[in-house]
Structure 1
Amino acid sequence: MERELGMASGAAAQDSGGGDLIAHADDLGVIGADAYKLYDGFRRDGDHARAATFEAARALSAGNFTSGAALMKVHDTWQSQYTTLRDACAQISNHLDYSTARHAKDDARVQGALTAVSVISDYIH
């Protein structure tokens, strides 16, 4: 399967008169698999230090150390960015899985429609 996408502005690419991006299903599959591996790695390994960091920040704050608040800010920032990146990897993987499956269905539908037309043309000629 091969997809050609137009430019975001709707203008045609200058050199070919067509789209400016061609994506092959095999390439999309590799990207989707890599995105899933990243997601799985983040899910599995990206959160190990969260609880210990939180407890350390809480203990430092309870002891009136100003570094407690700073460490809690590091904890919160890491948690936010970790979650955002993990979810983005999952979204990329899911989108490419969906897109590949959807394009395969569309290709099968178009091929079926063209097969019917080619059979009709056999009777015309």
Structure 2
Amino acid sequence: MRLNHALPPDGANGKPVGKESDLVVRDDELGALGNMAFDLHSQLSTTGDLARQNTFDAATQLFNDGLEAGSALTVLHDAWNTKLGTLKEACAHISNHLDYSKAQHAKDEHDIQTGMKNAAGKAMTVSRIYDYIK
């Protein structure tokens, strides 16, 4: 596989001409995915942390009783907290990014719709723009 070249436009890459997929995202999809990421973050914040204190207490008690399982349980406790924090951070990042993308797309659409200017640099009305595309 070569990554430093463009695919031939004649379908020689095994896909029919004109059937190349492109990135298409709809606002409702972005919103739904962002909400799912937010909900997962919320669930992880509550249910992912339920046994943290009990696990730590058990590890401390086992360690104080001279059992090596206490040290192992402490390592497990710390690893779980690290992984849980990473997963929550990823969910928050996804949710925030999708919210930002949705808002930015709406702003860009508004700018495009209201920002068309004529040769003199003055903003064109929608009816004037429509005259150009009829």
TM-score band by shorter chain is: 0.7 to 0.9
Q: What secondary structure does 1:65 align onto?
A: coil
Equivalent in the alignment of 2:84: 82
Provide the C-alpha distance between the structure 1 equivalents of 2:94 and 2:5, rounded to a whole number of angstroms: 24
Provide the C-alpha distance between the structure 2 equivalents of 1:122 and 1:20, rounded to a whole number of angstroms: 30
Describe the superposition over 1:58-112 as per-residue Cα deviations: whole angstroms up to 9, x where unpaired: 1111111010011111101110111111111111001100110011001100011
Q: In structure 2, do the counterparts of structure 1 residues 120 and 102 end up closer, same or farther at CA, with 3 Å as the change threshold?
A: closer
Higher normalized strand content (fraction of residues): 1
Higher normalized helix content (fraction of residues): 1
Equivalent in the alignment of 1:116: 124
Q: Which runs of 5+ in 1 are unaligned?
A: 1-8
Q: CA deviation at 1:43?
A: 1.1
Q: CA deviation at 1:10?
A: 9.6
Q: CA deviation at 1:47?
A: 0.4
Equivalent in the alignment of 1:98: 100
The percentage of aligned residue pairs carrying the same residue is 40
Q: CA deviation at 1:120?
A: 6.5
Given the alignment, which residue of 43, 46, 49 partners 2:48?
46
Given the alignment, which residue of 40, 46, 56 partners 2:58?
56
Moved more, 10-19 or 36-45: 10-19
TM-score, reference length from structure 1: 0.78
Number of aligned residues: 115
Equivalent in the alignment of 1:5: none
Q: What secondary structure does 2:50 align onto?
A: coil
**What is the RMSD of the two structures over their aligned residues, measured on CA atoms?**
2.9
**1:59-74 residue pairs with structure 2 within 5 A?**
59-74=61-76
